[in-house]
A and B are shown apart, each in its own frame.
Chain A
Amino acid sequence: MAKWQILVLKEIRHLFRDTKTIVQTVVVPTFITPLLIGAIVWYMGSVAQEESVKIYDLGYQGDTNNELYFELSNTERFNLNLFDSEDKLVLAMENDEIDIGITFPNTPNQSDISTKQTEINIFSKDLDTFSQAKSLLMNNVSTYEDLMIQARIDQLGIDKEFLEPLLINENDLTTDKEFAGTIIGALIAFLFIAYILQGSMYPAIDLGAGEKERGTMETLISTNISSLEIIIGKMFAITGSAVITAIFSTLGFIVPLLVVFLYFGDNLPEAFFNIVAAIVNPVAILGIFVLLIPLSIFMGALLLAISVYSKNPKEAGLLLGNVMLVFFAPAYLPLINPGLEIDMIGALIPCYSLALHTNALIAENINWMLYGVTLGSTVLYSLVAIYITYVMFDDERIIFRS
């Protein structure tokens, strides 16, 4: 067995005997993250469900002899409260005694209908994003406005089409695969980058700055093992830990999805099946995996270089935290801007290119030339990162820096 292989085995054994490593690479991604996400989804779902049947307290002030008041008083989900002044209604809103308020000071008479605008004031607190009170009220107001428009059109004796010269038919031709690629692809790439960094960070600190602080680096250097063998051994241990994190993280999401399929499969919409089928595509999985390997090595080598440079684990943690932002930012762009498409410059940017290639692989419209550019450049970055780490290991000012 080569010396670097002996070192990899030792490092993996040493790392995974630490509870912190187990928690970081296995427990958190497999159980804690899906549980947290599940809890958030469950909470949001239950709040939305609660709001969908909730009866809202509606404050009303003004004339009651009109169609709008009639509509509101017949809406089952409104509990109507009459106020004799706008000030009292506003005070009730401010004290959270009612959910929403409307004042309708002057009901238009028959002659006003064809000439003037009539004022309606709506009072709401828009902080509660789940509340349906405002949309319910606006539906009623909109229905009332439609009645008024229709009355004006009738008075003028014109056809409604006269006011609406364009008949717009919207046809969204986005396929489920494209939807999966654009929305889910960027998210998958972002999550993988997060998992790799999560799985690499602690081992990088432990095997670099940690070993310097404990003095074991000196022991290792005193033996007949070259700097290159040391960094290859450590880098593969870090990458291995990242891959283990990625595997457990993926399992953490796939297992709950399988459970959903098994128990609620009959009630799931067809689009959901199509999206999952687009993701679970062998070419897409292989394509993403091939890009992830050099990217993991690049990240592992770079994190190790920074960790080795650091005086102690505290300094390493601080520096690596900043480096993480550098990796996260380009991966985040396709997530907030789903319309982005890859070009030659983009293909050279790590993480950003992975996110866009993941989109394209899932949507089955990959540009293999640009994919090759990304693969080649990431391999080159990995080699440069390994070289930098090698130079640092060979520099006694850095290795004995404390």
Chain B
Amino acid sequence: MIEVCNLYKSFKADTGKKGFFGTVKEPFFAVNDMSFTLYKGQVLSILGPNGCGKTTTLRMIAGMLEPSSGTAIVNNIDVRADKHKVKSNIGYMTNNTSLYDRLTVIETIKFFAELNQIPVVTYKKRAEELFSQLDMNDYLNKKIADLSTGMKQKTSIVRTLIHDPDVVILDEPTTGVDITGQSIIMDLVNSIKQQGKTIIFSTHQLGEVKDIADKIVVMAKGKKLFDGTTSEYQAKKPNHSFNEIFTEITNG
């Protein structure tokens, strides 16, 4: 279970005005009073335009950024009290492939398995399953630099899931992946869901949300504009598409 309680995050941003020591910076809230609850086995999709605070929210939940105030509780562990324990419960995939170009696929996965202190037997079994599921077996000894964007994305997903985390956070997992790749990734997300894992993913693809998500949070300018189930989202405009409802919510 994930409980996000009144989460705030402020950064200093350039105002464009010139001061004595360079450009004047002023604080702004990248995330402004974000709260939601997600139960075990549920899938939450965070929707919002670029720069609305999705990634910042996900980073705070994953213990990578310290909240300015408020907190997130992941499997009964407060992220402000023990971020390392929270991290060991989470598989976090960043919004670009972000892998080591000069390592092969198998070396990459082995490295992250070792970092997560997984026994070799367990790691090998799990890696085999994931590679087969994502149809990656022909690419295991290729260097990351030589892979297509889709294959890099799949490697990222295997890296995220290799330690079998209870909570999976995917930051725009289908960005830059072709339609077939998107379908494979979403099938995998579905399969993780079937295993009873809690999933949060941010996306621009509203089609993905409709099929998989149990809950939706819509954000704009750091604020939460909608928090509810997919049925509640659809109920706002029963005869309209997800895209149309999204546009209406974000335009206020």
Seen from chain A, the residues whose Cβ lies within 8 Å of a Cβ on chain B are 1, 3, 6-7, 10, 13-14, 17-18, 214-216, 218-219, 221-226, 396, 400
Distance in angstroms between the alpha carbons of A400 and B59 in the assembled complex: 11
**B residues adjacent to A (C-beta < 8 A):** 62, 64-66, 84, 87-88, 90, 92, 94, 96-103, 107, 111-112, 114-117, 143, 159
Can you list 5 A-B pairs, Cβ within 8 angstroms, ordered by A? A14-B100, A215-B94, A219-B99, A222-B94, A224-B116
- Shortest beta-carbon distance, B202 to chain A, in Å? 15
Please state if A226 and B94 are interface contacts (CB–CB under 8 Å). Answer: no
Pick the contact of A223: B87, B99, B100, B143 (CB < 8 A). Answer: B87
Please tell me which one of the listed residues B66, B98, B111, B115 contacts residue A224 in the complex, with CB atoms under 8 A apart. Answer: B115
CB pair A225 B96 closer than 8 Å: no
Bound together, the chains give a CA A24 to CA B168 distance in angstroms of 41
A92 to B64, CA, bound (A): 79
Most buried by A among B66, B94, B103: B94
Bound CA span A317–B159, Å: 31
Q: Which residues of the other chain, A, contact B87 by a CB distance below 8 angstroms?
A: 222-224
Q: Is the CB of A222 within 8 A of B62?
A: yes
Tell me the interface secondary structure of chain B in the complex: loop
Q: Which of B94, B101, B103 contacts A13 (CB 8 A)?
A: B103
- B64 near A223: Cβ-Cβ < 8 Å: no
Chain B nearest CB, measured from A216 CB (Å)? 5
Cα separation A215 to B103 with both chains bound (whole Å): 15
Contacts of A400 in B (CB 8 A): 65
Residues of A within 8 A of B99 (CB): 216, 219
Q: Is the CB of A223 within 8 A of B62?
A: no
Shortest beta-carbon distance from A278 to chain B in Å:
43
Query: Do the beta carbons of A396 and B84 come within 8 Å of each other?
Result: no
**Inter-chain pairs besides A13-B107, A224-B84, 6 sampled, C-beta below 8 Å:** A1-B114, A214-B98, A215-B97, A218-B64, A221-B64, A223-B87
B56 to A, closest residue via Cβ: A400
A396→B62 CA distance, assembly (Å): 13
Chain A contacts for B102, CB-based, 8 A:
13-14, 17-18
Q: A14-B102, A14-B103, A396-B65 are in contact. Are A223 and B96 (CB under 8 A)?
A: no
A10 touches B64 (CB 8 A): no
Residues of B within 8 Å of A226, CB to CB, are 84
Q: Is the CB of A225 within 8 A of B115?
A: yes
Q: Knowing A1-B114, A221-B64 touch, does A215 contact B98 (C-beta < 8 A)?
A: yes
Q: State A225–B64 Cα separation when bound (angstroms).
A: 11
On whether the beta carbons of A222 and B64 are closer than 8 Å, the reply is yes
B171 to chain A, nearest CB (A): 10
Determine whether the beta carbon of A3 is less than 8 Å from that of B115. Answer: yes
Contact A396 B66 (CB under 8 A): yes
Q: How far is the CA of A340 from the CA of B100 in the complex (A)?
A: 48
In the assembled complex, the Cα of A1 lies from the Cα of B115 at a distance in Å of: 9
Cβ-neighbour of B100 out of A6, A10, A222 (below 8 A): A10
Q: Report the bound CA distance from A7 to B114 in whole Å.
A: 9
Say whether B66 contacts A10, CB under 8 Å.
no
Contact A219-B94, Cβ < 8 Å, known A6-B114, A224-B116: yes
